[in-house]
Chain A
Amino acid sequence: MSEVTRKPTTGPAAASPGEVPTIWTTGWTDVFNTGTWRAATPIHEWRPSPCHADCPIGNTIPGWIADIREGAYQEAWLSLVETNPFPSVTGRVCHHPCEGHCNREVIEAVVGINGLEHFLGDRALEEGWALPAPAESQGKRVAVVGGGPAGLSCAYHLRRLGYEVTIYEAREELGGLLRYGIPEYRLAAGVVDAEIARLLDMGIEVRLNAGLADRAALESLEAEYDAVFLAVGAQQAKILRHLEGGAGAGRVLDGLEYLRRCTEGVARDLGERMTVIGGGSAAMDVARSARRLGHQVSVVALESRGAMPAQPEEIEQALEEGVALFDGAMVAAVEAGADGGLTLKCVKVTLDLGAPAGELRPVPVEGGEFALAADVIVTAIGQDPDLAPFNGAFGDGSSDGSSVDGATGGFVECAVLVADPVTLATTRAGVFAGGDVASTNRFVSEAIGAGRRAAYSIAEYLSHPDACIPERPKLEDSVNRTEVNSFYFEFSERRERVVAPAAERLQAFAETISVYSTEDANAEAGRCMSCGFCVQCDNCFVFCPDMAVQKDPSAAGAEGVAPGASECASEGAPPAGAAVRVVAAVPCVGAPADSGPFYFVLDQYCKGCGLCVTECPRGAVRLEQVNL
């Protein structure tokens, strides 16, 4: 029998029938082409996770969480700042849509992505990690008008791509909304200072107190620079005309103005009782700041609590801090009150679901009238960009922001500067616009994302050899709940950041939320299922009955394609037309193309059963029908 094992493996032809009994084995089955049975082919493919698809900045979230799992915090942070130069800021104030469709919910609860970002951001500031160095100079100059999140993000990415950047900021300090629009207890000024200083260290020129005064100023920037990015934000508060006159005269303030007074410490003398109108984050910021300064505060919001644009935790914390919420209501009229204050005639409302998108059309509920007493009214119902300086420079595409009248008409969202949704180009060649000035999607991370997109668009416009606009993956293309295999994940409770008790919060403007401990961060990172993002768990290899899934990189051969090598592939799509039979295990942005072993499928043997697809815990293998 030992004779058998010494026979060549090339099949029966190699053995002469005269030497060996015909019943003896003379060859191995690996000469057979069982791959011809196949009706479908498994493909190892990096696929976007839902958190990635939901991230306005386009962050490859499972990639840096995997780095945290391995304790490589600086690598994780470097991966994070590939897209977002402000993790410490967004770790505090991002509305974290990334947690909205997290597949971990099938096990117990979504992953605390925002908390992990907070952890990495603060770790970087503690350790003094520097942002990546700019690329070789492209010899071109770009003006960024506006030093808020959109402008700073654009400046960062342009600088990294090798452009000379000058930021023009109207105020005395950079930061925009981050500095002037978000109270200290949510975002400490020190954090904003530190992340901006680190960004400026890359070599970005800044001109403070240098706003864009008029159309001529824009034209001179166009003449002086190769491209201009307008990110001047939206700083004109919408007003409610029906409250301004009569008894309300001099008693109505807008939210931005109030928050500014808070930072200056002169907000207390407005009277004891405050009513805040609005249901967004700004309204919560005003209400909670006012509570810290000792006001009695009520909030009147058109939307019902669940539909308010403010984050649920903001509303919850505001209520804990003693804010009285009147949701699904509006202030119809203001009258002089008996005690020298104001009486607000309010009414419960429902919202007309048939109203056009972006418009709130309240319908009063019969018998829903009630009254509130107040000394001061603060409106926080949104802001319009100040388009006056552009003075028709963009043709009919933009119009002056308009006020709204809650008593008679709809609450129309503001007019914004019109920019192409993909390229952010305006009607003027070489002028781009993004952030609040060009969008009604008013979130810090949306602005940072717009700045990033604009930078790559400008680079494309300026014929950068490598850059192209990153394509954001679609949620419907991301790994969904039916594609993860829950067997492989054990129950592990979500770690929460500690929020100070309400009584303590009301004492000061100190930050209310604490950062994860290293232990919590590691545990939370361990909960990430790494959807669509191969972590080389070997399940596809282990469960192949035909040994057709292999992992020796040397055998990958010419069929292998490793997306991620160029910036263009950074948001997911492998190079167009590529034969993706083999994909690098860690094809994220910045990952070297040769990192980690390959899995590859042997065409000759794979019978197409799909076990590797089903047993992949994270949806990183997909089955494609074979076209005959």
Chain B
Amino acid sequence: MHTYELDEQTVFNSGHNACPGCGEALAVRYVLNTMGPNTIGVVPPSCIAIICGPQPYSSMRIPVYQTTLEASAASAAGISRALKRQGKHDVNVLAMAGDGGTYDIGFQALSGAAERNEDMVYVCLDNEGYMNTGAQKSSSTPYLAVTSSTPGGKPSDKKDITEIMAAHRIPYVATATVGYPDDLARKVAKARDMEGMRFIVVLTPCLDGWGVADDGAVRVSRLAVDTGFFPLYEVEDGERYTINHGPKGIPVERYLEQQKRYRHLDADQIKEIQTGVDHRWSLLQARAESMARPVVCD
């Protein structure tokens, strides 16, 4: 029997404003309770800001700075540098942004911070769209998924933020999801105990935006991994790949059929998505293998 053992500290509070069964609230729980109370949070406008609480209340028992949508990484970098200036080297700085604030609007600040290897943990809670404002598409929305701004299904592919961040050659990049809470908590703990820029993208099903049942966040999240749609892996220093959980031979249709945003798909489109998933999985495996080889100079 599989069981989870999480080493949680009490940072995230009950009484927050996430929807019932929210996948993102679960992710916030694992992230915050693993980071621990000795942490300063930075949150841009997003569902995370809603979950954090209506002012002057907070669901996070740590100091949290709610910054602008463009500036999560810049704000976190400023706080991190200021702490060091004060001689405080033992305080974690955690930026938690959505996919809009990471893939799109906050991207240049993020890329800049990564290039400077700023000392922070940056967690992107990726629900594949602007779910907080009515489920518009973001550059994280997957191919053919319906959003309020792509009513016929998104015509372009999901941006591969993991590889983009890995290409910055920062110390740590990882993917995680709430259906694998032990894997998620382990990655957060690992990132917390490292230095420099650490980036984790967490797939967090949005029940309303994706059209998933109230009790379905964990099931859907797990299917994303088990079908190979969202493999869980880590990249250290831009080249050391570790694949944690990949496809288990379950067709991607099992994942898609759980979500209303894919309800319009016909058999050919499902096949097309399956082909894309298979292709990306083989690329990931090849990359993991080739990157692991030592560099040989003539």
List chain A positions with a Cβ less than 8 A from chain B: 1-2, 4-5, 11-12, 15, 22-34, 37-38, 487-490, 526, 529, 535, 537-539, 542-543, 545-548, 602, 604-605, 607-611, 613-615, 617
Contact = CB atoms under 8 A, between A and B. Distances in A.
Nearest to A20: B56
A490 B4 CA distance: 15
Given A1-B40, A611-B214, 15 more contacts: A1-B63, A22-B55, A26-B57, A27-B57, A27-B58, A28-B13, A28-B58, A28-B61, A29-B53, A32-B57, A34-B16, A545-B25, A545-B26, A546-B25, A610-B215
Interface of B: 1-6, 12-23, 25-26, 29, 40, 53, 55-59, 61-65, 181, 214-219, 222
Given A25-B53, A542-B6, A614-B215, A5 B13 contact: no
A607 B53 contact: no
Query: Closest 6 interchain pairs by CB?
Result: A609-B21, A607-B20, A610-B215, A545-B25, A29-B15, A32-B15
A539 to B, nearest CB: 7
Given A487-B2, A542-B181, A34 B218 contact: no
Nearest to A535: B1
Contacts of A548: 14
B49 to A, nearest CB: 13
B1 A25 contact: no
A545 B29 contact: yes
Given A545-B22, A614-B219, A5 B14 contact: no
B193 to A, nearest CB: 22
Contact of B216 (A27, A545, A547, A614): A614
Nearest to A614: B215
Interface centre among A27, A29, A490, A615 (most CB of B within 10 A): A29
Chain B interface mostly:
loop
Contacts of B55: 22-23, 25
B20 A543 contact: no
Contacts of A33: 15
A24 B56 contact: yes
Given A24-B56, A25-B55, A542-B6, A30 B15 contact: yes
Contact of B61 (A5, A487, A610): A5
B57 A29 contact: yes
Contacts of B17: 29, 32, 34
A554 B114 CA distance: 47
Contacts of A613: 215
A2 B86 CA distance: 14
Contacts of B64: 25
Contact of B16 (A29, A529, A538, A617): A29
B20 A609 contact: yes
A608 B21 CA distance: 8
Given A5-B62, A12-B56, A546-B25, A614 B15 contact: no
Contact of B59 (A11, A29, A38, A615): A29
Contacts of A604: 14-15
Interface centre among A5, A28, A539, A605 (most CB of B within 10 A): A28
Nearest to A548: B14
B14 A30 contact: yes
Nearest to A489: B1
B2 A543 contact: no
Contact of B1 (A488, A547, A608): A488
Contacts of B214: 608-611
Nearest to A488: B2
A454 to B, nearest CB: 38
Given A12-B56, A29-B53, A602-B14, A2 B63 contact: yes
Given A545-B25, A602-B14, A614-B215, A25 B57 contact: yes
A27 B2 contact: no
A47 B55 CA distance: 44
A5 B55 CA distance: 15
A30 B13 contact: yes
A556 B254 CA distance: 39
B59 A28 contact: yes
Nearest to B64: A25
A613 B219 CA distance: 12
28 contacts: A22-B56, A25-B58, A26-B56, A27-B56, A28-B53, A29-B13, A29-B59, A30-B15, A30-B59, A31-B15, A32-B15, A34-B14, A34-B15, A487-B2, A489-B1, A539-B3, A539-B4, A543-B181, A545-B217, A546-B15, A602-B14, A605-B14, A607-B19, A608-B214, A609-B214, A609-B215, A610-B215, A615-B218
Nearest to B14: A605
Contacts of B58: 25, 27-29
Contacts of A539: 3-4
Given A27-B57, A28-B58, A546 B2 contact: no
Nearest to A605: B14
Contacts of B25: 545-546
Nearest to A23: B55
Contacts of B29: 545, 547
Nearest to A15: B56
Contact of A614 (B2, B40, B218): B218
B15 A605 contact: yes
Question: Which among A2, A488, A546, A610 has the highest number of chain B CB atoms within 10 Å?
Answer: A546
B218 A543 contact: yes
B226 to A, nearest CB: 8
A13 B181 CA distance: 37
Contacts of A607: 19-21
A611 B215 contact: yes
B15 A611 contact: no
A591 B13 CA distance: 35
B4 A538 contact: yes
A105 to B, nearest CB: 17
Among B15, B19, B25, B219, which residue has the most Cβ atoms of chain A within 10 A?
B15
B21 to A, nearest CB: 3
A604 B15 CA distance: 8
A28 B15 contact: yes
Contacts of B219: 614
Contacts of B40: 1
A10 B20 CA distance: 24
Given A25-B55, A487-B2, A611 B14 contact: no
A29 B15 CA distance: 5
A34 B13 CA distance: 12
B243 to A, nearest CB: 19
A545 B59 CA distance: 12
